[in-house]
Structure 1
Amino acid sequence: MVFSSSKKAQEAEVKDRSAFVDHETASDDGHDVYQTSEGRRQIGLVSAIFLIFNRMIGTGIFATPSSILSSSGSVGLALFIWVAGLIIAAAGMAVYLEFGTALPRNGGEKNYLEHVFKKPKFLVTGLYTGYVVLLGWAGSNSVVFGEYILNAAQVPVNRWNQRGIGLACITSAFLIHGLALKWGLRLQNILGVIKLIILLIIVFAGFAALGGHLRIEKPNNFDNAFEGTTGSAYGVVTALYNVIWSFIGYSNANYSMSEMKNPVRTLKIAAPTAIMIVGVLYLLANVAYFAAVPKEDIVSSGRILAAQFFRNVFGLRAERALSVFVALSAYGNVLSVIFSQGRLVQELGREGILPFSRLWASNKPFNAPFMGLFEHWAVSVIIMLAPPPGDAYNFVLNVISYPLSVVNVFVSIALIWIYTHKEEFQWNPPVKATLPVAIFFFLSNVYLVIAPFVPPPTPEQNQYTSLPYYLHCVVGLAIIAAGGIYWLFWAVLLPKIGGYRLEKEVHKDVEGWTRNVFIKVPNHQAPIEGSSF
């Protein structure tokens, strides 16, 4: 049953009923009706492609190939590992594409997990709440933005000037998406085009070097491509782990499908297009690096691999220009991340599980999830500014990324469960990943969950100086568990102590969105008509 939130809203609903379209989701998991105004669908095909493109390409491709080569030991094995990462990312894209076209609404994994894991009621939503609300994804690339801007200006980098510029970066991203949605999308698209141009310049310059058309000394990295291949299982594990993380972001458009024009068709085109472009560019960029930079220089370059490449190919002046381009790439990633994470917070508000849910659920006053964006901005700023440099800061950044693998394990289990229990689900999505792909994605993410617990062979290879190498994994799991503790108090202990039960009503606000409202009903009272829990 759907209720309007006020008499005025009810009158507006009668007047404007034709302006709203109901979008059915899983009727048996508590999400009976989901409504949105067609006029609020502002994300077209190009913007959807760049939502994914910008999330996948941050700053990793400009530095990560150095650590991949160092861990794998040879150019040939490094390229094979990049191909393996692309295959795993394509499998993940297929899984999210099936779920997204079957349940085309904002919220991403929240909807997919709720559709399958229905009991205990809202436990999975509580767990997911901890993951969304307590992690500041946009913080890391905001700091990287500050570092590269300072490098371009030839200003020495210290803790506070780097983080101060990072704060300006994430604040501007928050404000443009919160106050001017269309301009935020346009800026994302422009920065996506700039990233594409930068990578194409690297690719063409590298192939020109490979063909002998540039006046540089050829490094001959392909003459014996597998020379130096590591015999260390830890090295391969580390390299593959880093490559897979370079492809993360293929699900980014799934979080805003209620705002897409023709969402099913748009996602069917946008997701494969984006991952195909990114995958090809990643592979060609690696070939370009190997064609223009000696192997020893790549291994020792660390985070400045692309700078080393530009210096070799174009000269010293080009190196400063590259710092600006990498900073813009980081900014595009921040815009894409905060855009999506703000909508996840909003969806939890519409679910009714957050305190002051109406506040988080609203699109007022600028037709954007301002409070959801604000929540992610605030958490990201704390993560950026609070930790001291060194172990503490690296630890916080690692904590942010690890829980996604845990979520993806359960997303893949959900799809496997649907395939193996077809009698329980009326499941006929426009796109199907297939059971083998779902199993492959499950195994890939189990690997990502377990691999960080593999101890480094020597203390020197520990990513922390004084912390246990696995600490970020334990804390990441604890963050998800914190959502479960919140659910335990909200949905189990407090109702038991207070002698009431929670019953859910679906309200439609004047804005045209529906949201859940939980009513505390005394245990002795009959159920409210049309409500559920």
Structure 2
Amino acid sequence: MWVIGTLIAMAGTAVYLEWGTAIPKNGGEKNYLEYVFKKPKFLMTAMYAAYAVLLGWAASNSVVFGEYILNAADVEVDRWNQRGIGLACITAAFLIHSFAVKWGLMLQNFLGVVKLVIILFVIVAGWVALAGHMKIDPPHNFTNAFEGTTDTGYGIVMALYNVIWSFIGYSNANYALSETKNPTRTLKIAAPIAIISVGIMYMLCNIAYFAAVPKEQMLSSGQTVAATFFGNMFGARAEKVMSVFVALSAFGNVLSVIFSQGRIVQALGREGVLPLSKIWASNRPFNSPAAGLFEHWVVSVIIMLAPPPGDAYNFLVNLISYPLSIVNVFVSGGLVYIYLTKEKNFPDWAPGIRATLPVTIFFCLSNMYLVVAPYVPPSAGQSVYNNLPYYLHCVVALGIFALGAIYYLVWAVLMPRFGRYILVKESVVDADGWSRSVFTKMPLEQAEALRYQEAGEQQQEQQQHHF
């Protein structure tokens, strides 16, 4: 699974590199979908807006943060103490990136280094475990390593969701390219190095876990397997200390995610498709997308507190991963369409990096599988949920996209039809110096008069050209 997941992540990195170097603006997938899927006008933007606004990406690692902090304090985890600490985690991330962006980025980068150090330490400790030096008897996990596994489509997809979630940052840079110096050069250098090195380290990290953590203990540890690993290697005190460092790593992820998602909401506000767009588009008063960050904080808190005990983390990961796979189908499918029709429909397409057609098709087909396979019922005892239907994350995700389509239907089709007006997109510059789009309502009579006038002017120009 880790090999397959790493290949998918590498292909995804290549696809997003091509998009990012061709359209180096804040907003990520929003820009790419709008570039390819122009008709019906505003439909794709509205559906993507629902996906971006109504999903709490920062929720899952906030839950992990709470679980590791409680493990470090040797406190039994329950539904509310775990999520209460998670609430404090995501609130701190929101406040830091709202009021002190520069310090937030410095902290985010520092915690990224902490995460790399932890992974490297796990890898080295894994070599020690393979040599037989640990606090427990060797677990012999490499003997009959695949015993008890299944090859059901549902099981494979759930495993891949968790693997790909570990690489989810490969698209984060695309959400803030307007704020990146020389984005094409930065992406060319940083992204390939990051995805290859992280992929190798994750593989070695898994070998280390299998070398030191018995299968039964691994299954019962849940999200705290890293702490269990250090407990088996160095004793109970090391387990508690490592829990603190892993919690800090999770906090770094929350900082990274809320940073990028706040800018997506801001980009949608500047596109004019959201209600109260002026608020979401603004950088005031702290030169940060505070409104977009607050919106993501609210949604993440709701999603974090809602699931029943035992299912929270898996539901949150799947609720993010499934709609992301749908978006990736359209992002990669759109790029395939560009490759096949470039000369006719996209003659100006000139990215700094090319993913190549085979890699893009592989990424598209991989995500199609991740979209379809979860509907195959799991075998008895194989569902990742204890108290929820196995398909719930799929239904919720499709419902979110449907809400976006309904919003489009009401805002861009029905209201203009019954109100007898058309939506006209204009550009304005706000007090913070950033331009944004606004939609004005032009009466049909005025629009028809303008069309008639333009048609007459074109006819007159043709006649003058003829003479």
TM-score, with length taken from structure 2: 0.90
Q: Which residue of 1 aligns with 2:294?
A: 374
Q: Which residue of 2 aligns with 1:228?
A: 147
Offset at 1:218? Answer: 3.9
Q: Which residue of 1 aligns with 2:368?
A: 446
Aligned length in residues:
448
Offset at 1:227? Answer: 5.9
Q: Which residue of 1 aligns with 2:399?
A: 478
Give me the whole-angstrom Cα distance separating, in 2, the residues matched to 1:257 and 1:431: 15
Give me the whole-angstrom Cα distance separating, in 1, the residues matched to 2:62 and 2:276: 29
Give me the whole-angstrom Cα distance separating, in 2, the residues matched to 1:299 and 1:161: 22
How do 1:66-85 residues align onto structure 2 when only pairs under 5 Å count? 81-85=1-5
Give me the whole-angstrom Cα distance separating, in 2, the residues matched to 1:302 and 1:446: 28
How do 1:169-318 residues align onto structure 2 when only pairs under 5 Å count? 169-212=89-132, 217-222=137-142, 224=143, 228=147, 230=149, 232-234=151-153, 235-318=155-238
Q: Amino acid of the residue matched to residue 463 of structure 1? A: V
- Over residues 51-86 of structure 1, what are the superposed CA-to-partner deviations in whole Å (9 max), with x where a residue is unaligned? xxxxxxxxxxxxxxxxxxxxxxxxxxxxxx211111
Other structure's SS at 1:174 match: helix
Give me the whole-angstrom Cα distance separating, in 2, the residues matched to 1:387 and 1:172: 22
How do 1:484-503 residues align onto structure 2 when only pairs under 5 Å count? 484-503=405-424
Give me the whole-angstrom Cα distance separating, in 2, the residues matched to 1:238 and 1:369: 34
Other structure's SS at 1:469 match: coil
- In structure 2, do the counterparts of structure 1 residues 212 and 393 end up closer, same or farther at CA, with 3 Å as the change threshold? closer
Q: Which residue of 2 aligns with 1:357?
A: 277
- In structure 2, do the counterparts of structure 1 residues 301 and 111 end up closer, same or farther at CA, with 3 Å as the change threshold? same
- Residues 1:96 and 2:27 aligned together: no
Of residues 298-307 and 521-530 in structure 1, the stretch that sits farther from structure 2 once superposed is: 521-530
Q: Amino acid of the residue matched to residue 520 of structure 1? A: K
Q: Amino acid of the residue matched to residue 514 of structure 1? A: S
**Paired residues of 2:96 and 2:104 also in contact (CA < 8 A):** yes
**Percent of aligned pairs sharing the same letter:** 67
Offset at 1:386? Answer: 4.0
Q: Which residue of 2 aligns with 1:522?
A: 443
**Paired residues of 2:48 and 2:401 also in contact (CA < 8 A):** yes
Offset at 1:145? Answer: 1.2
Give me the whole-angstrom Cα distance separating, in 2, the residues matched to 1:245 and 1:472: 15
Other structure's SS at 1:277 match: helix
Q: Which residue of 1 aligns with 2:26?
A: 106
**Residue 429 of structure 1, aligned match among 335, 351, 359:** 351
- Over residues 254-285 of structure 1, what are the superposed CA-to-partner deviations in whole Å (9 max), with x where a residue is unaligned? 00000111111112222212212211110110
Unaligned segments of structure 1, at least 5 residues: 1-80
- In structure 2, do the counterparts of structure 1 residues 339 and 210 end up closer, same or farther at CA, with 3 Å as the change threshold? same
- Residues 1:455 and 2:370 aligned together: no
- Over residues 294-345 of structure 1, what are the superposed CA-to-partner deviations in whole Å (9 max), with x where a residue is unaligned? 4454345433322221112111100101111121111111101100000000
Offset at 1:135? Answer: 0.8
- In structure 2, do the counterparts of structure 1 residues 384 and 303 end up closer, same or farther at CA, with 3 Å as the change threshold? closer
Could you say what the CA RMSD is over the residues aligned between the two structures, in angstroms? 2.3
Offset at 1:382? Answer: 1.6
- In structure 2, do the counterparts of structure 1 residues 483 and 369 end up closer, same or farther at CA, with 3 Å as the change threshold? same
**Residue 344 of structure 1, aligned match among 231, 250, 264:** 264
Other structure's SS at 2:278 match: helix
Q: Amino acid of the residue matched to residue 433 of structure 1? A: A
Other structure's SS at 1:524 match: helix
Offset at 1:236? Answer: 4.2
Q: Which residue of 2 aligns with 1:78?
A: none
**Residue 319 of structure 1, aligned match among 214, 233, 239:** 239
Offset at 1:156? Answer: 2.7
**Residue 150 of structure 1, aligned match among 61, 65, 70:** 70
Q: Which residue of 2 aligns with 1:50?
A: none
**Residue 136 of structure 1, aligned match among 56, 73, 94:** 56
Unaligned segments of structure 2, at least 5 residues: 455-467
